[in-house]
């Protein structure tokens, strides 16, 4: 039947149908969008996590390497005194008010943290406090049996006290940043003529050596081409003898600037008053354990490794460790090598937070770390001493 004119007019005025999404199509689009968004977010999280892991591993490795490099370089030179060693030298009495800061008859000084010997177990604190109790460290009788007061007093001045549970080591050597000075005439009782006085000053501790014998004393004054010492040298040094400033480097784990543990070093720098503040040389070093290799047979090799407070027992009645006439103690001059282990941590958020605390073995000492998001690794080295085996 043909449409009427009225029907045609009604159809002409009816709006045309427009296209669009059905409800099902819209739901499918939303699901696909969520899947793509989730994949992007998952990829971002994975990349971010991998970046944190890589950065944490890199920083951990750098800090551990820097700490060991500095310790190795310094400890290896322990006992070097101008062209001589601590095995063949005298030290004038009254150089220092503490055993550590004036003891240059031995290459090393060491302090064992109480309760940290091999076989012991330690639990570390997050943001550990500094420790000012000397009795929390043990040593040989010649060092007073406890941590030297100079370490505690300087730590108080600079807010960098040692942390309980980590060992302390001190290295006695010639200060490497000052070139040796040579004598030009026979020495007098306490005065020597030199070709230069560069780097020498009153108040410094210095060694004068002819490569066979040495004496450590405090410089009283420097004038023109002569250097005078506080006390009599005790023997005559011919022209060509060397004069060098002696130093004591102390390494310990203290509270770093970020509140975590850090490896610190501070030096006597030729002055027995320890006027130089401690320097943070490697952050995020949480613990340090040290063992001393003792030569008890004369083989110039370590026959056993002991803690600092056990050195006296290890060398007792041993003819190969007999004290040299005129020198002080003997225990640390029987040390031919040093083992050092460091527990190094990464910054936070390097790994997912574990459900249980992790324990690490540092030379036989079991150290339990805090439960956090730090990656940790033990760095260990054995250092041979060049100046205690000749």
pLDDT digit string, tens, across residues 59-91: 899 999 999 999 999 999 998 888 888 776 777
Q: Which of 5-19, 40-54, 179-193 shows the lowest per-residue confidence on average (mean pLDDT)?
A: 5-19
Bridge partners, residue 335, by sequence:
294
Main-chain dihedrals φ then ψ at residue 374, nearest 5 degrees:
-95, 140
82: three-class secondary structure by DSSP:
coil
Res 286: pLDDT = 96
Res 388: pLDDT = 72
The answer to whether the CB of 338 falls within 8 A of the CB of 385 is yes
pLDDT confidence tier of residue 325, bands split at 50, 70 and 90: very low
Res 254: pLDDT = 93
Res 5: pLDDT = 55
**How far is Cα 40 from Cα 37, in angstroms, rounded to an integer?**
5
Question: Average model confidence (pLDDT) for the chain?
Answer: 84
Q: Which is higher by pLDDT, 119 or 1?
A: 119
Res 281: pLDDT = 93
**How far is Cα 238 from Cα 187, in angstroms, rounded to an integer?**
7
Res 180: pLDDT = 85
Res 17: pLDDT = 56
Res 167: pLDDT = 97
Convert the pLDDT of each residue in 230-277 to its tens digit.
988 888 999 999 999 988 899 999 988 888 999 999 887 666 666 678
**How far is Cα 138 from Cα 135, in angstroms, rounded to an integer?**
7
The answer to whether the CB of 147 falls within 8 A of the CB of 173 is no
| Domain chopping of the chain, boundaries | 54-384
> Among 81, 135, 157, 92, which residue's Cα sits nearest to residue 333?
81
Res 327: pLDDT = 46
The answer to whether the CB of 291 falls within 8 A of the CB of 305 is yes
Please tell me what DSSP assigns to residue 186.
-
The answer to whether the CB of 105 falls within 8 A of the CB of 89 is yes
> Among 333, 332, 350, 343, which residue's Cα sits nearest to residue 367?
343
**How far is Cα 293 from Cα 305, in angstroms, rounded to an integer?**
4
């Amino acid at each position: 039947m043909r449409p009427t004119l009225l029907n045609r007019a009604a159809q002409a005025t009816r709006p045309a149908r427009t296209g669009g999404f059905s409800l099902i199509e819209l739901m499918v689009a939303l699901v696909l969008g969520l899947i793509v968004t989730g994949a992007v977010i998952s990829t971002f999280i994975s990349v971010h996590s991998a970046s944190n892991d890589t950065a944490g591993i890199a920083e951990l490795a750098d800090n551990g390497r820097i700490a060991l490099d500095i310790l190795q370089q310094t400890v290896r030179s322990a006992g070097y005194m101008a062209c001589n060693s601590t095995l063949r030298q005298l030290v004038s009495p009254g150089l220092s008010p503490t055993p550590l800061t004036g003891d240059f008859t031995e290459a090393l000084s060491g302090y064992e943290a109480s309760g940290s010997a091999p076989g012991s177990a330690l639990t570390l604190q997050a943001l550990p406090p500094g420790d000012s109790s000397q009795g929390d460290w043990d040593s040989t009788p010649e060092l007073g049996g406890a941590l030297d007061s100079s370490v505690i007093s300087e730590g108080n001045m600079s807010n960098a006290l040692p942390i309980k549970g980590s060992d302390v080591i001190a290295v006695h050597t010639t200060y490497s940043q000052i070139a040796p000075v040579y004598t030009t005439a026979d020495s007098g009782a306490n005065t020597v003529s030199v070709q230069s006085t560069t780097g020498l000053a009153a108040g410094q501790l210095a060694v004068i050596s002819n490569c066979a014998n040495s004496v450590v004393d405090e410089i009283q004054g420097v004038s023109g081409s002569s250097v005078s010492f506080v006390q009599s040298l005790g023997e005559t040094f011919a022209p060509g003898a060397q004069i060098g400033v002696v130093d004591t480097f102390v390494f310990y784990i203290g509270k770093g600037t970020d509140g975590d543990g850090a490896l610190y070093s501070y030096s006597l720098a030729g002055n027995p008053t320890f006027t130089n503040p401690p320097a943070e040389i490697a952050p995020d070093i949480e613990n340090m354990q040290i063992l001393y290799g003792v030569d008890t047979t004369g083989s110039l090799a370590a026959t056993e490794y002991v803690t600092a407070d056990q050195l006296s027992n290890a060398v007792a009645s041993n003819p190969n460790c007999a004290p040299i006439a005129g020198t002080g103690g003997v225990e640390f001059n029987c040390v031919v090598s040093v083992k050092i282990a460091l527990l190094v941590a990464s910054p936070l958020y390097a790994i997912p937070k574990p459900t249980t605390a992790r324990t690490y073995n540092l030379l036989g000492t079991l150290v339990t770390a805090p439960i956090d998001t730090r990656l940790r690794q033990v760095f260990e080295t054995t250092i041979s001493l060049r100046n205690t085996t000749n």
